[in-house]
Amino acid sequence: MRECKKCHVQILDDTSICPLCSSVLETCGDESWHNGYPDVKAVSKKLSFVVRLYSFLAIIIEAAFVIINYLTFHGIWWSAISGIIILYFFVTLKYSLQRSNGYKTVILVQLIGAVLLVIATDNIIGYQGWSVNYVLPSAILLLDATIAILMVVNVSNWQSYMLMQILTVLLSGGCVLLWRFHIIGSPVLTLMALAISLCMLLGTLIFGERRAQTELKRRFHV
């Protein structure tokens, strides 16, 4: 049996890393410990089976869609859209659920995946530009709103969301570059996303004072 000195729990399976804090476990001989952590491999095996089952069914379904689309083709490869959607849900299962990543990483991965899905759909059905003109900056605005809610809910640790704020500023700045290169035709939402992202970051830096400065030093070693 192995024990985590940091969490003060004993692990019943043969893993070498604590599933709670990822610390290296130490071997202990006390079998009378009653606060043991349950067998984490059982849950992992179930999730792994779900992912494999989904992959198997997804391949069969997508192959059927491709055949149907080919036999009934009328100018649009809609099977490509279904394939992208299936891939998106696979990433959700594999990356967001099976690997148990932090919720901030999950939010970013899900949002980026959804935007890429919409952009790909726009290109498949005949590019009209609505994906980059409206969906892309709207996703950044949604991320800004999510960050604001998380900062209010987790007010004791609000500074931990500064990295996400910086990311929204960089993404909205990238959208401005796309507008300057005429890839984005309607700049209203793009400029709004940039303005709100900058205001949120500046507000955090100004009102956060020392805690904000400490977080920046911790993240970027400056």
Q: What is the pLDDT, as a whole number, of residue 43?
A: 61
Handedness of CA 184, 188, 193, 199 (dihedral sign): positive
Q: Which is more confidently placed, 178 or 31?
A: 178
Q: What is the pLDDT, as a whole number, of residue 42?
A: 62
Q: What is the dihedral of CA 175, 178, 182, 184, to 10 degrees?
A: -40
* Out of 33-42, 50-59, 163-172, least confident range: 33-42
* Out of 34-38, 54-58, 78-82, least confident range: 34-38
Given a contact cutoff of 8 angstroms between Cβ atoms, the answer to whether 118 and 131 are in contact is yes
The confidence band for 104, taking pLDDT boundaries of 50, 70 and 90, is: confident
> Which of 40, 63, 44, 42 is CA-nearest to residue 52?
44
| Highest-scoring range by mean pLDDT, 40-44, 105-109, 136-140 | 136-140
* Out of 15-19, 82-86, 144-148, 161-165, least confident range: 15-19
- Region 37-61: what's the mean pLDDT? 78
Mean pLDDT computed over every residue of the chain? 84
Q: What is the pLDDT, as a whole number, of residue 97?
A: 62
- Region 190-212: what's the mean pLDDT? 92
The confidence band for 29, taking pLDDT boundaries of 50, 70 and 90, is: low
* Out of 12-16, 75-79, 154-158, least confident range: 12-16
List CB contacts of 35: < 8 A, sequence separation 6 or more: 8, 9, 10
* Out of 27-36, 46-55, 77-86, 90-99, least confident range: 27-36
Given a contact cutoff of 8 angstroms between Cβ atoms, the answer to whether 193 and 144 are in contact is yes
Q: For residues 175 and 177, what is the distance between their CA atoms, to the nearest angstrom?
A: 5
Single-letter amino acid, residue 52: R
Q: For residues 208 and 131, what is the distance between their CA atoms, to the nearest angstrom?
A: 35
pLDDT above 60: residue 131: yes
Q: For residues 16 and 137, what is the distance between their CA atoms, to the nearest angstrom?
A: 44
